Amino acid sequence: MVTAHHHSSEIKKTPPEKTNEAASITAPDEQPYEPEEEEHDLRTLLSWHAPGRPFRHRSKEYFINATLIMLALQIILFLFAQYLLMLVVFSLVFLAFALAIVPPHMFYYKITTQGIRVEDHFFIWEELYDFYFMRHEGEDVLHISTEAYFPGELIITLGDVSPKQVKSVLLQYLPFREYVKPAFIQRAGEWLEHNFPLERRPA
């Protein structure tokens, strides 16, 4: 009797290697994604040099009249024993004389695509609010309001740059204020200067 012996197969079948075909397939027209670098485009739009504040040379008549008015006020305040106000009046007159005698030094102003530079101070556009022009001592002066309480306003003399040129540049970033109501102190100063001038105006 013939008995058949069935031998168990010892051959182990190895599964076919799995390849990530989806990862290796790339469309012929597609390129690997590379993040684009942001370009920080800092360009100077306008720059100039001008005095740090409006300045006008005063005559002797200005200093003489201002001194006489100060002495008259000091006598009146002394009679009413207002010694503190006497000190305030003297300080204001001394400051006015100092500003009239010492000319301001030249400042460097620059308007860029990121903000405004005044000497070594730089203000980005997000820190500024709006702008307008006014005339001080016969010169056009640029006023720029700030978002923060301090400094509150930038006062920039234009020098040889025209207001029209500055306005065309600033309108890209800040709104222009057509009319600004003068403050009480400014109106009072203009009224006194018009009705009681300390010196004769040049013809």
From start to end of 28-97, where are the E strands? 44-51
- Does residue 114 sit within a domain? yes
Per-residue pLDDT at 192: 73
Whether the pLDDT of residue 166 is over 80: the answer is yes
Of the candidates 124, 120, 121, 134, the residue with the CA atom closest to the CA atom of residue 174: 124
Q: Residue 98: inside a domain, yes or no?
A: yes
Sign of CA dihedral 85, 86, 89, 90: negative
pTM (predicted TM-score): 0.68
Which two three-digit tokens encode residue 113?
């695509």
Most confident of 10-14, 31-35, 56-60: 56-60
pLDDT for 61 beyond 80: yes
Residue 195 confidence (pLDDT): 74
Q: How confident is the model at residue 147 (pLDDT cuts 50, 70, 90)?
A: very high
Of residues 177 and 30, more confidently modeled: 177
Q: Is residue 23's pLDDT more than 50? A: no
Domain CATH number, residue 166: 2.30.29
Is the residue at 190 inside a domain?
Answer: no
In a domain, 32, yes or no: no
Full domain range(s) for residue 111: 44-179
**Rg, the chain, Cα only:** 38
**What mean pLDDT is predicted for residues 75-103?**
93
* Domain contains 16: no
Among the ranges given (1-15, 37-51, 137-151), the one the predictor scored with the smallest mean pLDDT: 1-15
- What rounded mean pLDDT belongs to the chain? 81
For residue 3, the model assigns a pLDDT of 44
Say which residue, 149 or 174, is predicted with more confidence: 174
Q: What is the mean pLDDT of residues 190-194?
A: 76
Strand, helix or coil at 143?
strand
| Confidence (pLDDT) at 112 | 96
Query: Which pLDDT score is estimated for 73?
Result: 93
3-state SS, one letter per residue, for 177-200: CCCCCCCHHHHHHHHHHHHCCCCC
| pLDDT on residue 40 | 58
- Counting runs of H as helices and runs of E as strands, what totals does the chain give? 5, 7
Hey, what amino acid is at 138? G
Q: How confident is the model at residue 179, as a pLDDT?
A: 84
- 189 in a domain, yes or no? no
Return the structure tokens found at 117.
């530079």
Number of Cβ within 10 Å of residue 161's Cβ equals: 20
Any domain includes 4: no
Number of domains in the chain: 1
Instruction: Give the pairing of strands 106-112 and 44-51.
Output: antiparallel
Q: With pLDDT > 70 as the criterion, what percentage of the chain qualifies?
A: 79
Q: Kindly tell me if the per-residue pLDDT of 118 is higher than 90.
A: yes
The predicted model gives 92-107 an average pLDDT of 92
